[in-house]
């Protein structure tokens, strides 16, 4: 397309999912989790995979993580086929089970760098300090996780993922177990952090509201086995809470439940 050259149309895609079919083979069954799924993630996208439970969202994330190879199609990061896990794709887990409680903020971030064999010594310390400052936690670098709010803990875990300098952060329903108010706070924190750093994130959810709030782009998947129903732009943050949010949610709802 030649009209209105947005960043999305001019930059090369970071992540290309091309006709991907994913299956699980057990001794008795062959389960097709996703069928012929294609999409492209661009730098600084907040790309959301949205679909009902069991449609293969986690399976897609696992495949992008390199833990599962497609039976058909291909997954490419910066043009290179993904065949195994790598530090260029970091998974950010749910806030409550991801930080080591006996380690400070600094130690949590350094531990990841050290354990992966990426950095040691002064370089490791500087890298950790840089990313902890980037997420606005410089003052809390020597604090223990239990003294931090949920939003701050999320920032630490994102700093830990970012310190590995991945191309994309992968988040699989990170807020699914939280109450509605906490969930909203964590979503807002993620958006503030994205405003500051413009990291690329691939975010999985089954909540239409969450998809509209978090995503810049939203991929709708059909129920099991997951196939692409549609891909759409979300609304700007300034339009959250207005009629355009409810209109988009209603539109998505209709698309997800049509056959």
Residues lying near ligand ADP in the complex (CB under 6 A): 24, 26, 31, 33, 51, 53-59, 224
**Alpha-carbon span 36 to 46, nearest angstrom:** 22
- By CB atoms closer than 10 A (0-12, 13-18, 19+), residue 143 is middle
Q: Would you give the distance in Å from CA 16 to the centre of its chain? A: 15
**Alpha-carbon span 141 to 154, nearest angstrom:** 14
| φ and ψ at residue 239, rounded to 5 degrees | -100, 0
CB of 208 to ligand ADP, least distance (A): 14
Q: Which is nearer to ligand ADP, 33 or 119 (CB)?
A: 33
CB of 57 to ligand ADP, least distance (A): 3
Residue nearest to Mg ion (CB): 58
Beta carbons within 10 angstroms of residue 217's beta carbon: 18
**Token output for 68:** 């599962």
CB of 44 to ligand ADP, least distance (A): 25
Residue 226, beta-bridge partner list? 34
Query: Which residue from 21, 36, 40, 58 is in contact with Mg ion, where contact means CB under 5 A?
Result: 58
Q: Which is nearer to ligand ADP, 54 or 151 (CB)?
A: 54
CB of 75 to ligand ADP, least distance (A): 15
Q: Which is nearer to Mg ion, 58 or 182 (CB)?
A: 58
**Alpha-carbon span 82 to 18, nearest angstrom:** 12
Query: Residue 106's binding partner, choosing from ligand ADP, Mg ion, none, with beta-carbon cut-off 5 to 8 A by kind?
Result: none
85, 67 contact by CB (below 8 A)? yes
What percent helix, strand, coil does the chain show, rounded to 5? Answer: 40, 25, 35
CB of 184 to ligand ADP, least distance (A): 22
CB of 102 to ligand ADP, least distance (A): 31
Query: Residue 233's binding partner, choosing from ligand ADP, Mg ion, none, with beta-carbon cut-off 5 to 8 A by kind?
Result: none
Query: Residue 70's binding partner, choosing from ligand ADP, Mg ion, none, with beta-carbon cut-off 5 to 8 A by kind?
Result: none
Query: Residue 31's binding partner, choosing from ligand ADP, Mg ion, none, with beta-carbon cut-off 5 to 8 A by kind?
Result: ligand ADP
Query: Residue 56's binding partner, choosing from ligand ADP, Mg ion, none, with beta-carbon cut-off 5 to 8 A by kind?
Result: ligand ADP
Per-residue CA distances from 215 to 4, 105, 204, 242 (Å): 21, 28, 10, 16
Interface contacts to Mg ion, rule CB under 5 A: 58
């Amino acid at each position: 397309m030649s009209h209105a050259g947005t960043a999305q149309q001019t930059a090369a895609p970071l992540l290309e999912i091309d006709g991907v079919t994913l299956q699980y083979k057990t001794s008795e069954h062959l389960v097709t989790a996703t069928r012929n799924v294609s999409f492209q993630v661009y730098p600084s996208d907040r790309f959301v995979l949205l679909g009902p439970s069991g449609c293969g969202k986690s399976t897609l994330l696992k495949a992008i993580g390199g833990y599962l190879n497609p039976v058909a199609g291909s997954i490419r990061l910066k043009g290179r086929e993904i065949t195994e896990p790598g530090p260029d794709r970091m998974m950010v887990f749910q806030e409550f089970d991801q930080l080591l409680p006996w380690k400070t903020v600094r130690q949590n971030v350094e531990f990841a760098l050290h354990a992966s064999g990426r950095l040691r010594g002064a370089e490791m310390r500087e890298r950790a300090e840089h990313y902890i400052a980037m997420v606005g936690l410089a003052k809390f670098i020597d604090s223990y996780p239990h003294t931090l709010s949920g939003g701050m803990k999320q920032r630490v875990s994102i700093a830990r993922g970012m310190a590995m300098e991945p191309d994309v952060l992968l988040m699989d329903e990170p807020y699914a177990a939280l109450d509605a108010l906490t969930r909203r706070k964590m979503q807002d924190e993620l958006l503030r952090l994205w405003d500051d750093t413009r990291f690329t994130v691939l975010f999985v959810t089954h909540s239409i509201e969450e998809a509209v709030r978090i995503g810049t782009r939203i991929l709708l998947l059909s129920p099991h086995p997951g196939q692409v129903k549609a891909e759409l732009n979300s609304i700007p943050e300034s339009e959250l809470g207005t009629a355009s949010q409810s209109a988009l949610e209603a539109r998505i709802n209709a698309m997800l439940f049509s056959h």
